[in-house]
Amino acid sequence: MKFSPRHKVQHIILAAFVCVAMLPSIFGGSVAHAMDTPAAAKPLPFEPSEELIYQADFSKLMLRGIEIAEFHFTAGRAPSNDNSHVVAASTALAPNIVFKGDARARGWFRKLFNFDFHYTHESIVDPSNFLILRTTKLDEQGKRVRQSVAEFDRKADRVTWTERNPNDPNATPRIVTGVLRDAAHDFISAIYYLRTQPLAPGQTFELALSDDGQTYHIPVKVSERRALNSVVGKVQTLRLNIDIFGAGRLVDDRQGSMALWVTDDARHLPVRARLDTDIGTLDIKLKKVTGGIAITPGRTTTRSHTTQ
């Protein structure tokens, strides 16, 4: 399939959303370990009510240095009286954890390509073991709108993914039923579980996650340690190289590479990512952080940081 320039850029932006969703997640051990080990009984670095905001800019080719998308990620708890978050598979006594992601086109992207997109993602997680219970998505690309829900049945080792067109309620939905295999998370719930895990330089491993009813294995290598300037100040970071492009990967119809930098501390805050693709380089930087265990260099005291 040959993409027009407009659709190429839009495709990369949606890929970037996946990448940013994975930023804090790609470290800390295998998914099999994640499935077998309950979440540690300690304060979570993203509670209470953390929000992360990222800005995406093209750094070369036709969109040099222009902001074209913004990403928001939040973590919180489901209200105890909210029945929409009650899933039969959950045995947790505490309220379920809710992770949300939001990506939308900004400014020059709309003007240059006469095209808009908005993508939202919600993950419902059992707090007793951090396993994904439900994934809900809304994908709006111009006039094309799709809603999907993935339900995870651990006892039956099955995931059922259903996609509908809300603009055509009489249309037959797409349904994919598959074996869970070793997928313990979707790509956003993996963020927050693995943020709680240890990070060691030199690690190489695979992350297995479920998306649209399919299981993907993502090779990861933890690389160099270096200091970076960021919205939270000058911080020590670790670079992670993540192989999401190519056949059998999350982005299977593009060639490219991805690197990200997370703070080398207990919070593992993702401060920067870079995607090199066949249409240019996309730089993603942390723009604002509120809630959680906010950090300043050398200590964890301040609870809000914003770019100037």
- pLDDT score of 38: 39
Does the pLDDT value for residue 21 go beyond 50? yes
- Distance from the Cα of residue 213 to its chain's centroid: 17
Would you state the structure tokens that stand for residue 149, as one six-digit string?
């829900």
- Distance from the Cα of residue 94 to its chain's centroid: 24
CB-CB contact of 73 with 100 (8 Å): yes
Top mean-pLDDT range of 48-52, 77-81, 98-102, 281-285: 98-102
- pLDDT score of 126: 87
Does the pLDDT value for residue 186 go beyond 70? yes
Top mean-pLDDT range of 105-114, 158-167, 214-223: 158-167
The most distant pair of C-alpha atoms in the chain lies apart, rounded to whole Å, by 57
Please state the rounded mean pLDDT for residues 17-31. Answer: 44
Cα-Cα end-to-end distance for the chain:
42
Return the H-helix or E-strand segment holding 64.
Answer: none
CB-CB contact of 245 with 216 (8 Å): no
Does the pLDDT value for residue 133 go beyond 50? yes
- pLDDT score of 24: 40
Q: Phi and psi at residue 35, in whole multiples of 5°? A: -75, -30
The pLDDT tens digits for 223-249 are: 889 999 999 899 999 888 888 887 777
Average pLDDT of the residues of the chain: 76
- Kindly report the pTM of this predicted structure: 0.77
Can you tell me the distance from the alpha carbon of 53 to that of 3, in angstroms, rounded to the nearest whole number?
29
**300 pLDDT band (50/70/90 cuts)?**
very low
CB-CB contact of 196 with 39 (8 Å): yes
Which positions ≥6 away from 267 have C-beta within 8 Å? 45, 195, 292, 293, 295, 300
Give percent of the chain with pLDDT exceeding 70. 70
**36 pLDDT band (50/70/90 cuts)?**
very low
Can you tell me the distance from the alpha carbon of 210 to that of 45, in angstroms, rounded to the nearest whole number?
24
Can you tell me the distance from the alpha carbon of 91 to that of 126, in angstroms, rounded to the nearest whole number?
8
Does the pLDDT value for residue 114 go beyond 90? no
- pLDDT score of 286: 94
Return the H-helix or E-strand segment holding 148.
Answer: strand 144-153
- pLDDT score of 80: 63
Does the pLDDT value for residue 58 go beyond 70? yes
Residue located via tokens 């919600």: 122
- Distance from the Cα of residue 274 to its chain's centroid: 14
Residue located via tokens 């093209």: 58
Number of H helices, E strands in the chain: 4, 15
Which carries the bigger pLDDT value, residue 255 or residue 167? 167
What's 168's DSSP letter? Answer: -
Does the pLDDT value for residue 166 go beyond 90? yes
What's 296's DSSP letter? Answer: B
